[in-house]
A and B are shown apart, each in its own frame.
Chain A
Amino acid sequence: MDKKYILMDEVIHHKKLANGLNVYIHPKPKFIQTFASLYVNFGGRDFTYRIEEEDFTLPKGTAHFLEHMLFENNDELLSGVFLDNNADLNAFTSRRLTSYYFSTKNNFSLLLDKLLDNFIDFNFSEKTIKKEAKIISQELSMNDDSDSTKAYKSLVRLMYKDSSIYEDIGGTKTSIKEINQEVLSQAVNHFYHPENMMLLVSGNVKPEEVITQLESHNFMKKEWPAFKSIKRMTDLSDKTIHRKKKFDKKLETNLVEVGIKVPESLFIDNPQKHYMLIDPFLEMMFNPASKLYKVLKKKNLYNHSLTVSPVYDGDYSFINISMETKKSKSFIKTILELIQELPTITFSEKYFLAYLRAEIGRSIKSFDDVKDSHSLIESLLIMEIDIANYFSLKREITLEDFRPYQEIFKKENIYIVEYLKRP
């Protein structure tokens, strides 16, 4: 087992088990809770993929559907034993992966065994599939019931040709009707393999004991077939239409979504560097003390609904500015003027150094909470950031690193969606 220190008293142990499962353990002996997450490299984007030169398809929403089904695999309610032990068990599906996670104060070993038991044999009854389809349908209706979500989705659809980027992770009410035993079986066979999974444990555990337990579990003993790697392709080519308006008489206020595409060249060769830079860059550009906020406030165009956030999902990246405002026309005019000035602005060294200190402080603080540190390590592992160098990578960021990011604020990278209240 190898180990890496992320802080002087915070160490992450790692071992790749014989069946290919990568296990990471972050012991926090002074805390009473333990968090465990099992990640499967299978997400909402995986409805078309290639294995050994053969193309495969799945109905949209299969990864999310399977996540629901895993709670009733082999006609057994997975949550039962977790509830009996007052543990919180849950799961989520993102565009890139599915995560099954639990937190507990009691009987961690028993619960870890139970979680892994569920990933050995897969058997889903048609009755359960039908029941889950109804619940997922409710979930999809909820997602469709938000105007701001609709506007955001329109923006992503305007920016990208690739449907794996803009399609709903849960699929559609039509696509989930196509999901049956055969579909789920294909998904399980292609994606649910230890080599395509990762386990992260944080909390009150001893790393050696966890590894010993895992090595004797049936999940390890099972004879898994050789894993065939999965190839995905993302089309990031430019789209010609950059602006879209939609009128809706049911709206109360206009919605504005602005997207600024980050060119592939900034993350394709060094995604780790992009991950480390995108947040600090945005913070320097768009914090509440920045010129952008000041001008918006001065022109009475600011309100609390304004958000600026980075989107980075490994194979595409953009900056999203979102606002609900009655003054959408003036807001768009001003924000376009402001962001197109960004390539020429000079950052203050004083504010930048202060920001770096703040970032270091915030990262240290996250180790005061098992859940927060678990999330931090999770994102570092998913992004394949070297844990031992995380803090030094942060300290090494310079203003010069932001230069190419300033250049992205050009007309050809900017997309705008307006959802307007019909008079």
Chain B
Amino acid sequence: MKIVKREILGIDLYYVPIKKFKTIEAFFVFTNEVDPTTFNEKNFLTEILLDSTNKYPSTENLKLVCDNLYGLSKVNHYHFEGNLDITMFIISSVSDKYLGEEKIFSQAFDVLLEIIYNPKTYKGLIPKKTVKEKLMQTQELLSSLKQNKNAYSYYQFMRTYTRNNTDHITFFPETKYLDQVTHKTINETYQKMINEDRLQIFIGGDFDFEEMDELIKSKINRIKIHESKSFTFKNHFNPATEINEVIDNTSTGQTRIFIGYDLGFPHTQKSATIMSLFNELFGAFENSKLFTNIREKLNLSYYVYSYYSPGNDLFFVNLETSKENREKAVKEVAKQLLDCQNGLIEDELFNQAKKNLINRLETSVDSQYKLLIYNVIDFIRYNEPFDLEKRKKAIENIKKTELIDLIKTIKIDTVYIYT
């Protein structure tokens, strides 16, 4: 699979040709510098745009057209990737040849353009009523957040863990700015996205390049073309000066524990790869340090895992245990990390973790969506396509000593206990 890059009237277009899939997927990716003050607006906006358009002014109308296109699926993703703000609109359409009908993808592409560039407006603006509805629903969601103990504890932990990083890491809904959301700010954010953000288009599936070029050219007049900006991905986590321990005693059931870490080393493509390997052996599979010791040996928890997010340099451990085992569990997680930092990583575990990571990358060729996402992210972070062979080699070449050297700087930043 070779990524083909096209530039049509100033827009960067990437074809990810894969013959075996029955669907064609198109991603519109908008990128800009992060602005946490408009994070809520962007979240609302992506939802509002997918609800209705000028041509299909109700949810019912838009659903009808999508259903008629054999269940055209449309989703959005919005998140911060280091210093960059990423908004994606994605459609997945069954390839014409499996339907015995022509131009299904062409019509699907029209719907996507309609969603992005022709929103439902009143006097040229996204209506006040729509924004008010979204705000009310969000307020209600916030007021009942505590009911879902997992979501509540995760949200509270993340806010504590990233407290020194609110300029580039935030979580929806960002309560600090929620009162400032108005239909005016939503409209401004929308205009900024279509007029200033960098646009990249990724299309994956079994299609003819020339035919796709023609199709895009025939529709390009609907896209707002402007001078393309370039961005450099930067990523850093600002730790706290001392460990922040929060014990929230308001839970009525099991104890949820989150431990967030400061990695203490700068993000590079290489360090991210090594850290992914460490995450794997520490807490991402059944033979990992945490699973083997905390669940299987000590029976402290039904689930325990670690999670590493290279996009914003976050690394944390989450587990659920009984109230009486709380301290024991926290101590054991600390012990396991210390053991790893002292070099107590079995060769078998190290090699198995490597094979797991490689295996996961290799199986991505069975998912068009994953391949497209991997490409989008690699272009954003490193300005290059996803290269499976290069990634595999990078993992294979990691030495245990360099992993141990790298993780020596990892230290606890936040302990959040909901008990």
A contacts, CB < 8 Å to B: 7, 30-33, 79, 83-84, 86, 105-106, 131, 134-135, 138-139, 141-142, 144-148, 250-253, 255, 287-289, 293, 297, 300, 302-305, 324-326, 350-351, 354-355, 357-362, 364-365, 367-370
**Shortest distance in angstroms between B92's beta carbon and chain A's nearest beta carbon?**
7
Let me know if A83 and B366 touch, CB within 8 A. no
Determine how close the nearest CB of chain B comes to the CB of A91; give it in whole angstroms.
13
A365 touching B68 in the complex, CB below 8 Å, given contacts A32-B363, A148-B147: no
Q: Does B321 contact A (CB under 8 A)?
A: yes
Q: Let me know if A369 and B367 touch, CB within 8 A.
A: yes
In the assembled complex, 14 residue pairs joining A and B whose CB atoms fall closer than 8 Å, in A order, are A32-B363, A105-B359, A147-B147, A252-B144, A252-B145, A252-B146, A252-B147, A305-B141, A324-B147, A357-B68, A358-B67, A362-B73, A364-B22, A365-B73
CA distance A148 to B148 in the complex (A): 8
Within 8 A of A (CB), among B115-147: 133, 136-137, 140-141, 143-147
**Interface members, chain B 278-316 (any A CB < 8 Å):** 285-287, 295, 299, 301-303
Given A31-B366, A105-B362: A361 in contact with B71 (beta carbons within 8 A): yes
B299 touches A138 (CB 8 A): yes
Shortest distance from the beta carbon of A232 to any chain B beta carbon, whole Å: 29
Contact between chains at B143 and A253 (CB < 8 Å) = yes
Contact for B71 among A31, A106, A358, CB less than 8 A: A358
B352 and A84 within 8 A (CB)? yes
B140–A326 CB distance below 8 A: yes
Question: Shortest CB–CB separation between residue A285 and chain B, in angstroms?
Answer: 14
A86 and B355 in contact, given A142-B302, A324-B144 (Cβ under 8 angstroms) = yes
- The docked-state distance in angstroms from the alpha carbon of A303 to that of B301 is 34
Q: Provide the bound-state CA to CA distance between A84 and B141, in Å.
A: 44
Q: Please indicate which of the listed interface residues B94, B99, B149, B356 has the most CB atoms of chain A within 10 Å of its own CB.
A: B94
| Interface residue? B177 (CB, 8 A) | no
Q: How many A-B residue pairs have CB under 8 A?
A: 140
Quick check: is B365 within 8 A (CB to CB) of the other chain? yes
Q: Which of B26-34, B56-64, B210-218, B223-231 contacts A (4 or more CB under 8 A)?
A: B56-64
Does any Cβ of A come within 8 Å of B254's Cβ? yes
B320 to nearest A CB, angstroms?
A: 6
Which of A131, A146, A355 is within 8 Å of B299, CB to CB?
A131
Q: Which residues of B contact A142 (CB under 8 A)?
A: 254, 302-303, 320
Chain B residues within 8 Å of A355, by CB: 67
Residues on the B chain within 8 Å of A131, using CB: 299
Contacting pair B92 A365 (CB below 8 A): yes
Q: Which residue of B lies closest to A82 (CB)?
A: B286
CB distance from A9 to the nearest CB of B (A): 9
Interface membership of B342, Cβ < 8 A? no
Whether A289 and B140, one on each chain, are in contact in the complex, defined by CB atoms closer than 8 angstroms, is: no
Complex alpha-carbon distance, A352 and B66, angstroms: 13
* Smallest Cβ-Cβ distance to B136: which chain A residue: A300
**B94 adjacent to A364 (CB under 8 Å):** yes
Q: Is the CB of B140 within 8 A of A141?
A: no
- On whether the beta carbons of B136 and A369 are closer than 8 Å, the reply is no
Docked-complex contact B253 and A144, CB < 8 angstroms: yes
Q: How far is the CB of B66 from chain A (nearest CB, A)?
A: 7
Q: Does B322 contact A (CB under 8 A)?
A: yes
Shortest distance in angstroms between B69's beta carbon and chain A's nearest beta carbon?
Answer: 8
CB pair B22–A251 under 8 Å, yes or no, is no
Which residues, 239 to 288 on B, are CB-close (under 8 Å) to A? 252-254, 285-287
Minimum CB distance partner of A31 in chain B: B366
B22 touches A354 (CB 8 A): no
List of A residues within 8 angstroms of B299 by Cβ: 131, 134-135, 138
Taking the closest CB of chain A, its distance from the CB of B251, in whole angstroms, is 8
Beta-carbon contacts under 8 Å, B14-40 to A: 19-23
| Interface 1/0 per residue, B60-83 and A, CB below 8 Å | 100110111111110000000000
B118 to chain A, nearest CB (A): 19
Contact B22 A367 (CB under 8 A): yes
Is B87 engaged at the interface, CB distance under 8 Å to the other chain? Answer: no
Closest-CB distance, A44 to chain B (whole angstroms) = 18
* Min distance, Cβ B119 to any Cβ of chain A, angstroms: 18
A370–B366 CA distance with the chains assembled, in angstroms: 8
Q: Is the CB of A86 within 8 A of B71?
A: no
Identify A289's interface contact among B58, B254, B368, CB under 8 A. B58
Whole-angstrom distance from the CB of A133 to the nearest CB of chain B? 10
- Is A289's CB under 8 angstroms from B63's CB? yes
* Cα distance, A324 to B147, chains bound together (Å): 9
Check A32–B362 contact: CB distance below 8 A.
yes
Contact of A139 with B67 at beta-carbon distance under 8 Å, contacts A144-B253, A146-B149, A369-B367 already known: no
> Within 8 Å CB of B359, what residues of A?
86, 105-106
Distance, CA A305 to CA B144, complexed state (A): 10
Q: A153 CB to closest chain B CB, in angstroms?
A: 15
* Separation of A405 and B351 alpha carbons in the complex (Å): 57
Q: Let me know if A83 and B285 touch, CB within 8 A.
A: yes
- Which residue of chain B has its CB nearest to the CB of A283? B67
Closest Cβ–Cβ distance, residue A287 to chain B (whole Å): 7
Chain B residues with CB below 8 A from A304, complex form:
137, 141
Say whether B147 contacts A354, CB under 8 Å.
no
Could you say which residues of chain A place their CB within 8 Å of the CB of B301? 138
Question: Is the CB–CB distance between B286 and A79 below 8 Å?
Answer: yes
CA distance A250 to B249 in the complex (A): 13
Chain B residues with Cβ below 8 Å from A86 are: 352, 355-356, 358-359
State the CA gap A148–B150 with chains docked (Å): 12
New A-B contacts (17) at CB < 8 Å, excluding given A148-B148, A302-B137: A32-B362, A32-B363, A33-B366, A84-B352, A86-B355, A86-B356, A138-B321, A144-B253, A252-B144, A289-B58, A305-B141, A326-B143, A354-B64, A355-B67, A358-B71, A365-B94, A368-B22
